[in-house]
Amino acid sequence: MKKLLTGFIFIAMIIFLSSSAYGEGKLDIDGDINNREYKRLLIVYKEERYKHRKTKKYGRGLERIPKAIEDKIKKIKRLENLNIDIVSIDEKEDVEEVIEELNKSEYIEGVEEDVRRSFFYMPNDLEYDLQWGLGNPNINIAKAWQLIENVGAGNNEVVVAVIDSGINSSHEDLVNRIDFDGYNFRSNDYNIEDFHGHGTAVAGIIAAQTDNNIGIAGVVGKFDANILPLKVGEWVSEEIAAINYAIEKKVDVINISMGGEMYIATENLAIQRAVDSGIVVVAAAGNEAQEGNKALYPASYENVISVGSMNELEDVSWFSNYNPYVDLVAPGEGIYSTDRNGKYAYFNGTSFSTPFVAGVCALLKTIDKSLTPKEIEDILFSTATDKGEYGRDDYYGYGIVNPVEAVKTLVGIHEEEYQEFSPKIDVPLDKKWTIRFNMELDGSHINDSNVFIVDKTGIKIQSEISLMSDKKGIIITPIANYESGQEYSLIINKDIKAVNQESLVKSVKMTFITE
């Protein structure tokens, strides 16, 4: 085993603050320092030397340690079968220097820092990774969820009416997301069970229960949004009755993943009544791009958000209608969702891109119930990721729906200005960080809103944060290892306070790339 010098990176930076914030002191970010109690090293001994250890001299069971550092370390415990000692060193010591000195010993094969390990975090739905649409860089729904949670928003109860073929009311991923005030407009009863499978898939994209250890995740995540299933057949009269029922039930969003070529004034009036009552109406642009590409209704009515489909490469789907009425596009090919048989399946069509947008509308409503349909349209259209021709075009509309930017706009999140430092590279996957200050900190401000690590997309990495015993340092330890070869940022918010309530003038950011 080679001596493990290259596995350790010592990062020390001095951040100078103005006199109005911590005087003219400094903040020291030391990438290899752990908390006083748990700053530990693994000393691996050479096999042939392990049997002839000389321990009496040190009196603590330590191996042959170079004299230059023998007083800096102490024994914690020995892993006899592995030729390893676990030792601790004072938190003020330079880890790199200690390791370098230890590796000079003829008894030592190599030294590594002892670190904590845990699991990665993502929604724990077993088939979440099959939902490419949620992870698309321009959708990145997990980041939108995180942003909402970070500001303590998303506390409103929201109902999305799905006017469709019904729903599998016992599906494991939907049973806790259903408003059982739904109605069957085909047979005028309360049998909402799905006769086709279309409605169950649509409902799953919007609101499949998230973080429940099964199946998939809905666009609304863990926020309080339920589906009101309104079962219809092919008749527009049934759809109109369903719209009026939704108005009576005071739902927040209506999803209509169906349509036809005929303009129906009564249908339009019903939709305008819904919009006037504060309901956001989202409808599918249609799948007839190769069959005349006519404007379809209700998507083409005024005040309806018309949604086209894109594939995983962000190209408009070959079947997606394009016309002056298209407002947005969203994932609509190879969409994995709930099916009528209680399982999961893949679906294609603007029917399935539409609930992505309806789900985002519902997310915005969980933040602010007072939002009008026009206000939600303005947010979605202005924050969409522009594709195709510059500005609005008939293929992409205003662009790809972008829930992250929509949430930022709604909650007033602006890009922070940081005091930045040069990126660090080859950072170990289990790196923990210590941040040193020149003054004692107010412990009530030490939390994951003021000190945190984010990945390249801005999603927070779950971490443990602790105040050091002298109250002049913070330790941030990732709960799970970082991913290899990825970029992360360690951020110290300017709102962090000293005991005298002074704070930083500017937030601090250090970007690092893992080995």
Write out the catalytic residue numbers. 164, 198, 351
Consecutive H or E run containing 241: helix 236-248
3-state secondary structure of 48: helix
Q: How far apart are CA 60 and CA 19, in angstroms?
A: 47
Q: How far apart are CA 379 and CA 411, in angstroms?
A: 11
Distances (CA, A) of 490 to 416, 453, 498: 13, 5, 20
Residues 133, 139 contacting (CB under 8 angstroms): yes
CB atoms within 10 A of CB 170: 10
User: Tokens representing 60?
Assistant: 């603590």
Please give the backbone phi and psi of residue 348, each rounded to the nearest 5 degrees, phi first: -130, 150
Q: Is 193 exposed, middle or buried (0-12, 13-18, 19+ CB in 10 A)?
A: middle
- 363-373 in b/e form (b: 16+ CB < 10 A) is bbbbbeeebeb
Amino acid at 168: N
Amino acid at 26: K
Q: How far apart are CA 173 and CA 352, in angstroms?
A: 17
User: Tokens representing 193?
Assistant: 């069970």
Q: How far apart are CA 274 and CA 330, in angstroms?
A: 23
Q: How far apart are CA 511 and CA 453, in angstroms?
A: 9
Q: How far apart are CA 353 and CA 162, in angstroms?
A: 14
Q: How far apart are CA 232 and CA 163, in angstroms?
A: 7
